[in-house]
Structure 1
Amino acid sequence: MKKLFLVFCFFLVVLGHKRSRQIKKFVEFDSSQSAWSSSWSSEEDRRPRKPQKPKGPRCDAGWLQFERPNGVWCILIGNPNVLNGWYSQQDAQNACTSLGAILTGFQNNNERMTVAQKALEMTTGAGRTVAGLWLGAISASGSSQWTDGQTTGIEGFKWGVGEPDSNNWPANPACIQQFIISPNFVAGAEDFASWKTYFANGDLDRYQCGSQAYPRMRLYACGKKGV
């Protein structure tokens, strides 16, 4: 009986030793796996990450971006460096077409004044205090409308005093320009002092479509959908 008890004890000792070795191997394997996994994660963290592409339509560099009910609308203020008035509305439209755009209208007051402020910076930067900016709009028989096929409503219309006028301009319908005028405007040799009375910066003016145009410095605003 004593021998059986000793054999049983020996069996338990051997079994316990084997289980201890198995547990040790498992721990070593698990530790190795953990270290390998940690090393792999560190390698991934050091890899340069590609910049995420912005979600939704965006405008090209240099274009103003606006949110409209029908999506993102981009506007570029063009400066043909014309200071003598020889730049018609059609010339401006051709310039926009070459950019895959069209002469734009203003959906709201924010668009109108944002363009006016940026255009004024360009005007004063050229040493001038007044300019005319061609828009995609026409006016005839007391009715005015945007012509870019995207701008809607009348919120973007804000006329100068006495505008839209009833002058019989050469083209029918007449075109519309935006007056870009500095608070420090002083009439020069080819300017009219009355502009300061009738127009604030950003006001609209019913005007002829051709050239030679007043004010002599000419600008334009192109528009296109964001991509």
Structure 2
Amino acid sequence: MQKSTLILVLCAVSAMADCPAAYRALLNSQMKESTANGCAADWKFVNRPSGGWCMKVFTGYYESKAEAEKACQTVDATLSGLQTADEALYIQAAILAQVPESSGSLWTGIQRTKKCIGQKLTATCTNLTSFEWTDGATTGTGGMVFQVGQPDNQGLNQNCALFLASKTPTISARGTYYAATYEDVGCALTTFTPENIGRKTLGYVCGKKADK
């Protein structure tokens, strides 16, 4: 894990840390690498098996995955998948450094596969095969970490997934939820209530190919 990312991870787990300052420090530290590899200065460059990739975590509430996708398209990007666990830790820390909340969820580029629509966990539709990345650049399942018992496809209509970011390892929100993991949900959410407000969508992750 890079030193700049570690700064944000420490910020994410410390309620006393100056998280906005840590986020600005991260953007400054990654600027040279990002621009040298074909990303804008405020986007993070990551080197993937598919090639250079630029990622950025945006704040903002969107009720549906489709709305978040449209937001990414306005910056010539798409909702980004997560190639590795390090990328997952990065987006968790980056969103928590920008918002006052101690936990919340992110839309990313992940959706249920066609063969597993309407299916619960089976020998064919497992926690690693029920979903796929949608950005055309993420490969493998290194960043596809679902919470215990997920994706359960409750109601047989949970064809999208939310990534939970939290300053604590777990939160209580109509059940126990683990930080830096996915849970399957409907692609258009209903209003969050006080009981599950800790899982409210706080932002989304965009990605696009690096220019170099």
TM-score of the aligned structures, taking structure 1 as reference length = 0.63
Selected match of 1:137 from 90, 110, 116: 110
Summarize deviations over 1:127-170 as a string: whole Å, max 9, x none.
Answer: x1221100111123321110111111111111112211131254
Distance 1:163 1:79 in 2: 25
Selected match of 2:69 from 76, 81, 93: 93
Aligned length: 158
What are the equivalent positions in structure 2 for 1:1-227 lying under 5 Å apart?
Answer: 57-80=37-60, 82=61, 87-123=63-99, 126=100, 128-139=101-112, 140=116, 141=119, 142=125, 143-168=130-155, 170=157, 174-183=159-168, 192=173, 194=175, 197-200=176-179, 202-212=180-190, 214=192, 215-227=199-211
SS in 1 for 2:98: helix
Query: Measured at CA, do residues 132 and 213 of structure 1 come closer, stay the same or move farther in structure 2, by a change above 3 Å?
Result: farther
Distance 1:92 1:116 in 2: 17
Paired amino acid for 1:209: C
CA contact (8 A) 2:37 2:45 kept: no
Which residue number corresponds to residue 20 of structure 2? Answer: none
Distance 1:70 1:185 in 2: 33
Which structure has the larger Rg?
1
State the shift of 1:92 in Å: 0.3
Distance 1:205 1:184 in 2: 15
CA contact (8 A) 1:129 1:184 kept: no
Distance 1:158 1:68 in 2: 18
State the shift of 1:114 in Å: 1.1
What is the alpha-carbon root mean square deviation over aligned residues?
A: 2.3
SS in 1 for 2:104: strand
Unaligned runs of 5+ in 2: 1-33, 120-124, 193-198
CA contact (8 A) 2:171 2:177 kept: no
* Identity in percent: 28
Paired amino acid for 1:178: F
State the shift of 1:56 in Å: 6.1
Paired amino acid for 2:188: G
Paired amino acid for 2:104: A
Q: Choose between structure 1 and 2: higher helix proportion.
A: 1
Unaligned runs of 5+ in 1: 1-53
Query: Measured at CA, do residues 221 and 55 of structure 1 come closer, stay the same or move farther in structure 2, by a change above 3 Å?
Result: closer
Summarize deviations over 1:175-217 as a string: whole Å, max 9, x none.
Answer: 1110011218776xxxx252xx3312x1111111103355224
Query: Measured at CA, do residues 96 and 168 of structure 1 come closer, stay the same or move farther in structure 2, by a change above 3 Å?
Result: same
CA contact (8 A) 1:138 1:145 kept: yes
Query: Measured at CA, do residues 218 and 170 of structure 1 come closer, stay the same or move farther in structure 2, by a change above 3 Å?
Result: farther
Paired amino acid for 1:210: A
Which residue number corresponds to residue 25 of structure 1? Answer: none
CA contact (8 A) 1:130 1:185 kept: no
